[in-house]
Structure 1
Amino acid sequence: MAKYQNDAEQLLKDIGGKENINAVSHCATRMRFVLNDPDKADQDAIDEIPSVKGMFTNAGQFQVIIGNDVATFYNEFKEISGVEGTSEEDVKSVAQKKQNPLQRAVGALAEIFAPIIPAIIVGGLILGFRNILEGVDFGGATIVDRSTFWAAINDFLWLPGEAIFQFLPVGITWSVTRKMGTTQILGIVLGITLVSPQLLDANDVASTAAADIPAWDFGFAQVDMIGYQGQVIPAMLAGFLLSYLEIFFRKHIPEAVSMIFVPLFALLPTIIAAHVVLGPFGWWLGNIISNVIFAGLTSSLSWLFSFAFGLLYSPLVITGLHHMSNAIDLQLIASEVTSHTTSLWPMIALSNIAQGSAVLAVIYLHRGDKKEEQVSIPAMISCYLGVTEPAMFGINLKFIYPFVAAMIGSGFAGLFNNFMDVRANSIGVGGLPGILVINSQIGGGYLAFAISMVIAIVISFALTVVFRKRGIFNKEDREEPEAAIAADAAASGSIDLSSTEEGATTTAPETSETQVTTEKLFVPVSGELIDITAVDDPVFSQKMMGDGYAVKPSDDKIYSPVEGTISNVFETKHAIGILTPAGAEVLVHMGLDTVELKGEPFTVNVQENEQVTADTQLALMDRKAVEDAGKQTDVLTIFTNGEQIGSFSIEDKKEVSAQEEIGSVEVHS
């Protein structure tokens, strides 16, 4: 019998049969399905299949996590099902076709903003720090008033802090061309023409008399010379027009002269249209959106609006519609009517905190469940730092009641937050650190936001406990772990942990002797060492594949993180399996979602059954090619046979060098 025959047959049945499969492929760790009817997939049954480590749905794909041996599983599944596999790109294309227009639009919006979010986060943190330096009153004077040094620091930090927001159109037009697969430098040039110093700064338009606004005079018409600093919609419209024009002219201009005429005919008309039509229209539309949102937040029904937003933001994350809030937030910050602030972002940060607090309550309720804590504790931490997906998909939606509790806690926190008129100067910094971007000059400022955080924490935690104890919104009738039951019983005096009743006996489970071997761990590539929970992929960050560590590389050379034997070199070259002498199965995964690159950025220097040490260079990763393809370059070291992995420790360092010893792992055999 084939290795995975029973599991593959069971997966085929539980996923709804052959007739429910539209397309299927696999990457280094997971099966990727596009299902005709996703509701036919019995997720509870699939979760019970021994070789399945988890599952989730993303971008129209139902992804089942198998692990290192996914290629073998895939081949056996294909043989049993009779379904011919397709390429990763084809599966992605089919998945997009199954999405409705709104889902595709939101997906496009997400792809545009995702690459620039890191810069927005950095800018937001810096502006938050500047807000403390120049906005917080300490005994009648601010920090910058009291110190020449800090005043200079404050002025200097304006450069990196304002850069992303002032020149946001450049980032957006670049990101649009990147998503559309067109020439990215043209997108950058287009963005620069929208924020050129020759133009009147968008922030000064409201205070400038109409007669004083500069204009290009063409004799038959005049065009205002207005910049679009911080504007979202004009930049998006211009970026898409540029991309579609380039795609059109590529098809119709002979290749021999395309290098000259395609950029010319695509860029020049777009710049003209941006300043004559798209820019003014986008500005007008953006102002309407800003005014409507601001009116909702300041009207007599603002309490209802803010409660509803806080309540429903988490469900929006599930659908992906929350990505629209980034554009709305940035539009609010660009608007004069809101004093260049946003009331939405504080409520988003509170929603992060509420979801994290619900997970904290689950940890308390299920204390003693070591397996669950491997997911719940990192998920809670990431939630409090502004990333909710691991907590929602890994814990809260699994049980339902903590998710609902967090929604209610977020709703009440949002209501109070809006009542106190708390606003943020920027976006990107969520969770508890979100207080750094709060405007201290408008409304309740820091104190009001701190109270809002307490509301989110207390209500979400308390309701989670109440719902669990009373069986409200419970998705499943789950028994508490024995350790938690014993602790509760002991606390209430119902049992004596130090003795048993007369005649009663306790039996320890039989155990067989196991050999424990400690093996050294090394750094696979020079760069910044990060926790596995910080990796931007739920399969790895939630440890569905196993525990491990990751490095954001500063070099292209990838070395072996352990001593052992090469067990697998994936066809797409982006992942390599290693078996250590003690039996640890190690996956070295280069980049995130790089299976789609079909091996192009990677040069593998080893082959199966080859012995390797920390001095062995496994591969060469062209980081620039990976980044140009829109992928992240994180290099992950994952222990995929978790049942044999004991204690695992990594030094607390930030900057690391390839081949240096970084920690150890215990392997049970």
Structure 2
Amino acid sequence: MADYSQDVKQLLEYIGGSANISAVSHCATRMRFVLNDPSLADNKKIEDISAVKGTFTQAGQYQVIIGNDVATFYNEFTKISGKEGVSKDDVKIASKQNQNPIQRAMSVLAEIFTPIIPAIIVGGLILGFRNILGEIQMESLGQLMIDGMAQFTDAGAPIYNRIVDVSQFWNGVNGFLWLIGEAIFHFLPVGITWSIAKKMGTTQILGIVLGITLVSPQLLNAYGVAGTAAADVPFWDFGFFQIDMIGYQAQVLPAMLAGFLLAYLELGLRKIVPQAISMIFVPFFALVPTVLIAHTVLGPIGWVIGGWVSSLVYAGLGSSVNWLFGALFGFLYSPLVITGLHHMTNAIDLQLVADFGGTNLWPMIALSNIAQGSAVLAIIFLHRGDKKEEQISIPAAISCYLGVTEPAMFGINIKYIYPFVAAMIGSGIAGMISTIFNVTANSIGVGGLPGLLSIQNEYWFIFIICMGIAIVVPFVLTIVFRKYNIFNKSDQTEQAIVTEPELGK
């Protein structure tokens, strides 16, 4: 087992001492600090510590990359510093002291969507696979599998020309997978209201019940509202007023507004209702009014606002200057990640899926991830032989290509600046091409190279071209920028050193 005592003492000193640490925790590879005064941390000296592989600040947390031995390092640090570790959730709460109001709002948004993203990714992959089964034309396969017995329409075109038409097995798979897809997307409000309750520290089962009341089968399905005449919309009749029985399947904003109302009502009631009767009255007077207000006020308002947002984005993507929209989004997405503002794209993506059956934003996010990874790949090539940096750069490049960019951006690209800019340019070009050809994803998916699996199958070819652009352009530009010292202040090109040959050689 490595002895990190000296490294720990140095880190403690360079970070400003124990008095400067408000909270400390660790994750899989990093120490996470909330510092009372972040300016006291000496980045240069900290990064010179042998056990440290890089530093960065995000969401109010000062993070020090240690690697796989972080648990051992952390235990030594808490022993020497005298600082007791806390959970990652406690660190997140403490870190808000270093965040401005916008960062706090984005942090809340991130904490709401992060727990449900794995389900959304699975749903996106399922929709993509179902598209292959149900949409790709398989005329020759169909004729082969039914031994030339295909029936023909009057026009002479084969009826059985898709995978689901020629294989009962895959037809069954297609139908079965919709069970999961429907659960994820149609019942998305349940996940959102639950996640808000969890984040706000309120009763999670009430959040789940609230979500169910927004998507109950007795309600008119949100997807059927547009095709239903006003006179045919079901309603609850209270005598002197009526409430339309409209569901909010796949709707994001109505669920968020209702979820926060429930949470704040419960928190407020806890303060005024005596403990002896709180078990009865707090859940009742929090849930019932919330459901009523959700179906009369918040739901309709959220639906309208969500429609405005998705329509505005969709208009930009479909306008005559959509190439500019795509170029700017692709170019600026990585800086948004630094600020935390990128978390708002999750809500926009899901609203686009609900309103238009797919999202044009998410493919550009996947391309941005690839571009950042390609810039790191160029740094690995340029700095080959630097074993210490490769402990950061190689895993960072892999994680980028699998959809996680923070290690690459904070550990490598932002450190040198020029690879970060090269990645932004490559992402901008790829985003522009993607938008021009209307590349659409079924939903949010696995970022990076596996993102292809979430793209609607008719756009696969052009998305592969965009992926090639996101790989080649950042790699080449990173090398060019370093060679000619463009956007390069800290990684100057090595000059050739000419020495006289030694005698006898």
- TM-score higher than 0.5: yes
Q: Would you say the 8 A contact 2:12–2:18 is kept in 1?
A: no
CA separation of 1:370 and 1:27: change in aligned 2, threshold 3 A: closer
Distance in 2 of aligned mates of 1:72 and 1:379? 26
1:290 is aligned to 310
Q: In the alignment, is residue 360 of structure 1 matched against residue 377 of structure 2?
A: yes
Unpaired segments ≥5 residues, structure 1: 79-83, 506-669
The DSSP-based 3-state class of the residue aligned with 1:433 is helix
Q: In the alignment, is residue 476 of structure 1 matched against residue 476 of structure 2?
A: no
Identify which of 258, 264, 270 aligns with 1:250: 270
2:35 is aligned to 34
CA separation of 1:94 and 1:165: change in aligned 2, threshold 3 A: same
Identify which of 461, 464, 472 aligns with 2:478: 464
Residue identity opposite 2:195 in structure 1: S
1:179 is aligned to 199
Residue identity opposite 2:342 in structure 1: H
Q: Would you say the 8 A contact 2:482–2:491 is kept in 1?
A: no
Q: In the alignment, is residue 343 of structure 1 matched against residue 360 of structure 2?
A: yes
Q: Would you say the 8 A contact 1:341–1:425 is kept in 2?
A: yes
Q: Would you say the 8 A contact 2:327–2:428 is kept in 1?
A: yes
Distance in 2 of aligned mates of 1:406 and 1:99? 27
Distance in 2 of aligned mates of 1:108 and 1:10? 30
1:649 is aligned to none
CA separation of 1:427 and 1:213: change in aligned 2, threshold 3 A: same
1:3-18 alignment to 2 at 5 Å? 8=9, 11-12=12-13, 14-15=14-15
1:387 is aligned to 404
CA separation of 1:116 and 1:24: change in aligned 2, threshold 3 A: closer
Distance in 1 of aligned mates of 2:327 and 2:455? 19
CA separation of 1:7 and 1:387: change in aligned 2, threshold 3 A: closer
Residue identity opposite 2:33 in structure 1: R
Unpaired segments ≥5 residues, structure 2: 140-157
The DSSP-based 3-state class of the residue aligned with 1:322 is helix
1:155-554 alignment to 2 at 5 Å? 155-335=175-355, 338=356, 340-440=357-457, 445-477=459-491, 503=503
Residue identity opposite 1:415 in structure 2: M
1:666 is aligned to none
2:144 is aligned to none
Distance in 2 of aligned mates of 1:416 and 1:321? 24
281-290 or 292-301, larger mean C-alpha shift? 292-301
CA separation of 1:468 and 1:504: change in aligned 2, threshold 3 A: farther
Post-superposition CA distance 1:40-98 (Å, at most 9, x none)? 533112211345454332331223467425455456556xxxxx889667764442133
CA separation of 1:469 and 1:275: change in aligned 2, threshold 3 A: same
Distance in 2 of aligned mates of 1:22 and 1:368? 36
1:528 is aligned to none
Distance in 2 of aligned mates of 1:385 and 1:177? 30
Distance in 2 of aligned mates of 1:175 and 1:465? 44
Cα offset for 1:424? 1.1
Distance in 2 of aligned mates of 1:220 and 1:369? 77
The DSSP-based 3-state class of the residue aligned with 2:57 is strand
Q: Would you say the 8 A contact 1:358–1:405 is kept in 2?
A: yes
Distance in 1 of aligned mates of 2:64 and 2:446? 31
CA separation of 1:398 and 1:228: change in aligned 2, threshold 3 A: same
Cα offset for 1:390? 2.1
Q: Would you say the 8 A contact 1:5–1:77 is kept in 2?
A: no
Distance in 2 of aligned mates of 1:187 and 1:504? 83
Cα offset for 1:364? 2.0
Structure (1 or 2) with the greater helix fraction: 2
The DSSP-based 3-state class of the residue aligned with 2:457 is coil
Post-superposition CA distance 1:108-163 (Å, at most 9, x none)? 11001111111111111111111111122234722222222212211111111232
TM-score, length-normalised on structure 1? 0.66
The DSSP-based 3-state class of the residue aligned with 1:23 is strand
CA separation of 1:156 and 1:87: change in aligned 2, threshold 3 A: closer
Cα offset for 1:181? 0.8
Q: Would you say the 8 A contact 2:485–2:493 is kept in 1?
A: no
The DSSP-based 3-state class of the residue aligned with 1:351 is helix
465-474 or 101-110, larger mean C-alpha shift? 465-474
Structure (1 or 2) with the greater strand fraction: 1
Distance in 2 of aligned mates of 1:326 and 1:234? 15
Q: Would you say the 8 A contact 1:35–1:62 is kept in 2?
A: no
1:145 is aligned to 165
The DSSP-based 3-state class of the residue aligned with 1:55 is strand
27-36 or 115-124, larger mean C-alpha shift? 27-36
Distance in 1 of aligned mates of 2:190 and 2:268? 23
Q: Would you say the 8 A contact 1:195–1:227 is kept in 2?
A: yes
Residue identity opposite 2:108 in structure 1: A
Post-superposition CA distance 1:275-327 (Å, at most 9, x none)? 01110010011001011111111122212111110001111111111111000
2:22 is aligned to 23
Q: Would you say the 8 A contact 1:131–1:437 is kept in 2?
A: no
CA separation of 1:347 and 1:92: change in aligned 2, threshold 3 A: closer
Residue identity opposite 1:47 in structure 2: E
CA separation of 1:149 and 1:212: change in aligned 2, threshold 3 A: same
Post-superposition CA distance 1:166-215 (Å, at most 9, x none)? 10000000000000111111111110000000001111111112221111
1:103 is aligned to 103
Distance in 2 of aligned mates of 1:6 and 1:273? 57
Post-superposition CA distance 1:249-278 (Å, at most 9, x none)? 122222222111111111111110110111
Q: Would you say the 8 A contact 2:193–2:207 is kept in 1?
A: yes
